[in-house]
Amino acid sequence: MDTSSAAGVLHPYWPRDLLIPTYVANDRSMSEILVFLFSVSGVFLLVTWLITGRRGATGRLGTWRRLAVCWFAVCGFIHGVIEGWFSLYYDIIPGDQSFLSQLWKEYSKGDSRYVIADNFTVCMETVTAWLWGPFSFWAVFAFLTNKPYRFVLQLIISLGQLYGAVLYFFTEHRDGYAHSELGHPIYFWFYFVFMNVLWIVIPLALIVDAWRQMSTAQAHADITESHKSKRN
């Protein structure tokens, strides 16, 4: 339901008295925006899944590893394109009718910090877009070509994503969840909670995975070095 801001501009955001003088309502529906987001993400996932199913020089990747690479491909798209747009145009998004600006205005119904260019949100999304976006595509390349640093990339990206997501939730918690309609099934639980908690749960699993892979590699290297020392 649209409400009036202090300047008399109708907008659907919380808190209700939020001042957004340049706001222009979307002319794209919620369904159009969500279909675009999930369709493109689905294409990235499907294409990556098919590519990772091919047998390489070191054999075929397992199901878990293929899913992890698909995750990084989707992250590359979301961080680099969606969040990259926000990092570049955050100051004009409220009044802009470009498709990606409308996507952000729709998402802002679940977190209005995006439509008021909140300092933390701008800084966090800029780091995410320009570091974790390219790094995610790099990770896809590293796993497809079996680079020895692939799990280092996985650990770095996942730690960065986890840190950003924890700060994202914690700063809003300290604000008393003032930037969303608390408890709303779509705007709060789906947009704000579900679409962001993925960047806590999945990175945590990938951090543990990278930890195990790197620990195993180091243990093997230590044993090899020990055997060399004994021969000498």
Quick: pLDDT tens for 62-100. Answer: 899 999 999 999 999 999 999 999 999 999 999 999 999
Q: Does residue 19 sit within a domain? A: no
Q: Does residue 16 sit within a domain? A: no
Nearest to 214 by CA among 144, 157, 166, 153: 153
Are the CB atoms for 69 and 143 separated by under 8 Å? yes
Quick one: pLDDT at residue 218? 86
Quick one: pLDDT at residue 61? 84
Quick one: pLDDT at residue 187? 96
In the chain, which stretches have pLDDT less than 70?
Answer: 1-9, 55-59, 226-227, 229-230, 232
Are the CB atoms for 21 and 9 separated by under 8 Å? yes
Q: Does residue 151 sit within a domain? A: yes
Q: Does residue 65 sit within a domain? A: yes
Q: Does residue 2 sit within a domain? A: no
Q: What confidence tens digit (pLDDT) does each residue in 119-145 have?
A: 999 999 999 999 999 999 999 999 999
Quick one: pLDDT at residue 1? 44
Nearest to 171 by CA among 123, 102, 213, 218: 123
Rounded to an integer, what distance in angstroms lies between the CA atom of residue 88 and that of residue 172?
A: 23
Q: Does residue 158 sit within a domain? A: yes
Are the CB atoms for 131 and 123 separated by under 8 Å? no
Total number of domains in the chain: 1
Q: Which two tokens stand for residue 78?
A: 């979301």
Instruction: Using alpha carbons, list the distances in angstroms from residue 12 to 28, 108, 121, 152.
Output: 15, 9, 19, 43
Query: What is the pTM assigned to this prediction?
Result: 0.89
Q: Does residue 35 sit within a domain? A: yes
Rounded to an integer, what distance in angstroms lies between the CA atom of residue 83 and that of residue 2?
A: 26
Which residues constitute the domain of residue 110?
A: 30-218
Q: Which two tokens stand for residue 19?
A: 């001042």
Q: What is the DSSP letter of 3?
A: E
Are the CB atoms for 126 and 138 separated by under 8 Å? no
Q: Does residue 206 sit within a domain? A: yes
> Scanning the structure block, which residue is given the tokens 């692939």?
150
